[in-house]
């Protein structure tokens, strides 16, 4: 049983929930402080976490189902659970259905608008899995799938949407899109042979790294714009400086002729970025005079 659970968690890359969840929680903190001058309730936070984990689990499993043929052919992915046969396609489909059900239950527990928008959120998450078949910019679709999380959290807290949250959505979209461009550099040869689309395939690795840098410069610009729009205090600006420093370090690890440290850039650094962002912006929310 423990082995099976471990295999499922590996299939959905459960540890990667750390990437989007802190941004969603930041959106929840800003929403409660701006609209109610208080904090989200424990109940709201718990259901937001359930919604985030369930939605991401459903999306990742759908991605594995959609890409099963490619995962079997790609040397880098053929040992994953579905192509290796350690989990069945039937199980993956059932797991997806359960995760989607849990997401809808969480949305229902939050507020009516969250529930009404839940099908749209699932559609966005599932659509990403097919974009690499027809567009070079599938990385931005992945970014947007995670980028909607701060706006979703704002809706979960308030039952409405402040359009300024779209600035944070844009920042997360570019952040995720940028590091997915970096990650896709590993698969450039397979993408060419399989007829899949990606920024590295179209532009080459050197130009792809440059495009990822431009995306991440955009992240800092959007975060600064968001901090200005809400009049956030100094910890928010310190957090932006930390994010900028870590993004710079991430790019220093990856060279066009040396991708050997890409895993460190993708997993470790981006995990620190999201967690430290929540820490600094949570501190900003705590001292924020609204």
- Reported as a single tens digit per residue, the pLDDT across 112-139 is 999 999 999 999 999 999 999 999 999 9
- How does pLDDT run across 84-111, given as a tens digit for each residue? 888 899 999 999 999 999 999 999 999 9
Query: Which letter does DSSP use for residue 132 in this model?
Result: T
65 vs 87: CA distance, rounded Å: 11
Calculate the CA dihedral of residues 119, 122, 126, 127 and round it to 10 degrees.
60
C-alpha 149: how far from chain center:
8
Residues 6+ apart with CB under 8 A from 96: 58, 61, 62, 65
- How does pLDDT run across 178-228, given as a tens digit for each residue? 999 999 999 999 999 999 999 999 999 999 999 999 999 999 999 999 999
**Contact between residue 22 and residue 271 where contact means Cβ atoms under 8 Å apart:** no
Query: Which letter does DSSP use for residue 80 in this model?
Result: S
Q: Which domains does the chain have, with CATH numbers?
A: 2-287 (1.10.357.140)
- The share of the chain scoring above pLDDT 70, in percent, equals 93
Q: Residue 208's closest CA among 222, 198, 216, 195? A: 198
């Amino acid at each position: 049983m423990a082995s099976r659970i471990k295999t499922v968690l590996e299939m959905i890359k459960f540890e990667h929930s750390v990437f989007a969840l802190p941004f969603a929680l930041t959106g929840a903190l800003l929403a409660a402080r701006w609209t109610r001058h208080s904090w989200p309730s424990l109940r709201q936070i718990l259901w937001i976490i359930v919604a985030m984990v369930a939605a991401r689990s459903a999306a990742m499993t759908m991605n594995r189902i959609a890409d099963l043929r490619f995962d079997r052919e790609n040397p880098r992915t053929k040992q994953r659970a579905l192509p290796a046969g350690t989990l069945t396609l039937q199980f993956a489909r059932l797991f997806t259905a359960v995760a989607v059900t849990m997401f809808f239950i969480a949305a229902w527990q939050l507020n009516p608008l969250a529930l009404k928008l839940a099908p749209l959120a699932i559609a966005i998450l599932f659509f990403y899995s097919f974009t690499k078949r027809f567009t070079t910019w599938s990385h931005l679709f992945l970014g947007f799938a995670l980028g909607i999380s701060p706006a979703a959290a704002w809706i979960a807290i308030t039952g409405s949407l402040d359009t300024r949250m779209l600035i944070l959505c844009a920042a997360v979209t570019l952040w995720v899109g940028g590091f997915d461009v970096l990650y896709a550099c590993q698969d450039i040869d397979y993408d060419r042979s399989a007829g899949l689309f990606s920024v590295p395939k179209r532009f080459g690795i050197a130009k792809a790294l440059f495009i990822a840098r431009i995306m991440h410069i955009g992240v800092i610009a959007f975060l600064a714009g968001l901090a200005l729009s809400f009049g956030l205090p100094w910890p928010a600006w310190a957090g932006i400086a930390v994010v900028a420093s870590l993004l710079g370090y991430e790019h220093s690890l990856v060279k066009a002729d040396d991708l050997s440290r890409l895993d460190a850039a993708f997993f470790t650094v981006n995990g620190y970025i999201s967690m430290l962002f929540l820490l600094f912006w949570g501190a900003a929310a705590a001292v924020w005079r609204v």
